[in-house]
Structure formats: C-alpha cells, structure tokens
Chain A
Amino acid sequence: MLSRLVFLPASALKSSGSLGAGLVQAGRCLHTSPQTQAPVPPLPEKSGKVRHGFIPEEFFQFLYPKTGVTGPYVLGTGLTLYMLSKEIYVINHETFAALSVGAVLIYAVKKFGPGIAAFADKLNDEKAAKVQEVKDVAVKSLTQAIDDEKKEQWRVEGRNMLFDAKRNNVAMLLETNYRERLHMVTNEVKKRLDYQIQLQNLHQRLEREHMVDWVEKNVVKSITPQQEKESIAKCIADLKVLAKNTQAKASL
C-alpha cells in the first residue's frame, strides 16, 4: 500500500509546509509574512459547548435530526450494556478505583470550579487591564503631544503679528530720529546764518558810527575860532530878533 503513496501528485507535497523545530505552542498563526497587516482577532469568549463535561455538543446535534433528543443517551446506554455484557469492559478492582476517583473529581469540580474560574478570570482581567493601561497612557501622551503641537502652531501665527508690531516700532524710532536730526540741522544752520547777519550788522554799525564820528570831528575841526565867533554873534542877533517877535506876538 505504501508504494501507492510514492506516486502522490506534487501539489499535495507542496501543501504540506515544513514545521519549525518542535511544535510551537502558539494558538493563532503568527504574522510571519509582511502582507498580514490586519489586527489580530480577539479571543473567543466561550469554548465549544461540551455536555456532561466530556461529550461535545456537536455529537448531540449530529444525531438530533435522525433520533431526536434522547438518541445519544439511548446510544450511550446501549453501548454500555453491550460492552458490559460482552465483557469488552471488564469489571475489576480498577473499576471501583475509577468510580471513587471519578466521584471525587466530579464533586471537586462542581464545588470549586466556579471559584477557581472566577480567580483565573480575575488574573486575566488584571493582566489585560495592565496592558490596556499602558496603551491608554501611550495614547493619552500622544494626543497631548498633538494638542501641544497645534498650540505651538497657533502661537507661531501670533508671532507674525508680534514681528509686525516690532517692525512698526522700529520704523517709528527711525522716523523720530530722522526728524530730530532734521530739526537739529535747521537750528544749527539758522544759528550760523544769524551769526553772519549779526556780524554784518555789526560791521555796518561800526562803519556808520566811525564815519559819523569822523565827519563830526572834521566838521568840528573845520569850524575856526573866527567862524565860531561869527556864528555866535549871528545866533545872538537871531535870538534878539526872535525875542522881539515873540514879545510883539504876546502883546498882540
């Protein structure tokens, strides 16, 4: 029979992938190829249903269409009776050991099962909460970073206005400085021109006075004593005439 297996088609050989060293205890396939970028699906909430602790529910569903609800139980009873009667299952000392152990196990599971399940769930929840907290902290810090970044961008816009205001200030300073210097220049030039005017005035006055003094001096010099006596006599004569005139006018 094995000789037939030698002539298997090549496609069947291709489908059998090579296993890694030892059986890796991984439940879901690891993302080894770069194409699977989808997020890993979450764990299922409950396991497959199992009735009476060790018979899968699918068996009951499989027999339900043909035999109804009691089918599997009748099958179980029939099989047990067959195995007992034909002694395929032999009742010996191990049977009683198995029954005692089974009883104790069932009692223990029924009594402590829910407690242990709750404890395990609590452990799992704590683990999940810790990881979730790490993720939440990371997300929060990142959103905070985003908000800070947006605020900085908003501040930069404000900085433009600040620069405009500063530019205006500087322009105004320059303007005032220029006007001050303009004033200073005009003042200085005016002072210089005034000085020149005063200088000219002074010159003219000095010349005039000098000339007047010189003319007076020459005139005084030219008046000889003879002329002085004559002029004085004339003046006296004039005065007498004048006095006579006024006396005459006053008596009139």
Chain B
Amino acid sequence: MISVPLSEKKLLDVKLSQLPAWAGTRDFTPNGILSAIRRGHDRYFNKYINVKKGGIGGIAMLLTGYVVLSYIWEYDHIKHDRWRKYH
C-alpha cells in the first residue's frame, strides 16, 4: 500500500486522531471555500440529477436537508412550544 500524504487523503480515509492535522491542510481562503462548494455541488449534481433516469431521491434529499436546516435555525423559537420544562 503506497503511502499518501495527509493533505491528499479523502475525509473518510483520515483517522480520527489525524483529523485536526488534516483540517489544517485544507484550503480556507474564499476561493478555496467556493471551489469546495463547487466540487460538492458537482458531485451531488452528477450523481443524482444529471442522469438519464433520475428518481425522486435527487430533490427529496435536498428538500429533507432544507427542512432539517430550517428546523435547526428556528429551534430557539420552537423551544417555547415544548410540552415539559424538564427532560
């Protein structure tokens, strides 16, 4: 098994102890962030949407993510509808 330098490893191949070191090698400039968003978008788009026979999963996952994210953003407001004060 040839050894790959830490900066070029994929996230799922990085051991937990190496995670901070790995995060240090990532590119956090605005250009870097934008290109990371672009790469993520391309991966998702080419896997689930830009196909001949796409299913409901492509947009369903996006909608689910939107629902979850909006719930998280509204949690401070929803907290007041809790049925019990102590859990």
Residue positions of A touching B, CB distance < 8 A: 2, 4-5, 8, 12-13, 15-19, 23, 27-28, 43-50, 53-54, 56, 85-87, 89-92, 98, 109, 113, 117, 121, 124
Contacts and interface: CB of A to CB of B under 8 A. Distances in A.
Interface in B34-82: 34-35, 38, 41-42, 45-58, 60-61, 63-64, 67, 71, 78-79, 81-82
Interface of B: 7, 24-29, 31-32, 34-35, 38, 41-42, 45-58, 60-61, 63-64, 67, 71, 78-79, 81-84, 87
Contacts of B53: 45-47, 117, 121
Cβ-closest 8 pairs across A and B: A50-B57, A27-B50, A92-B81, A16-B31, A16-B32, A54-B60, A54-B64, A48-B47
Contacts of A27: 42, 45-46, 49-50
Nearest to B67: A98
B57 A54 contact: yes
A17 B82 CA distance: 48
Contacts of A47: 47-49, 51, 53-55, 57-58
Contact of B61 (A17, A54, A89): A54
B81 A90 contact: yes
A117 B57 CA distance: 13
Given A19-B34, A50-B48, A5 B61 contact: no
A121 B87 CA distance: 52
Given A27-B46, A43-B52, A48-B57, 17 more contacts: A2-B28, A12-B7, A13-B32, A15-B27, A17-B31, A19-B35, A23-B38, A27-B42, A27-B50, A44-B46, A45-B53, A47-B47, A50-B60, A53-B57, A90-B78, A90-B82, A92-B78
B76 to A, nearest CB: 12
B55 to A, nearest CB: 6
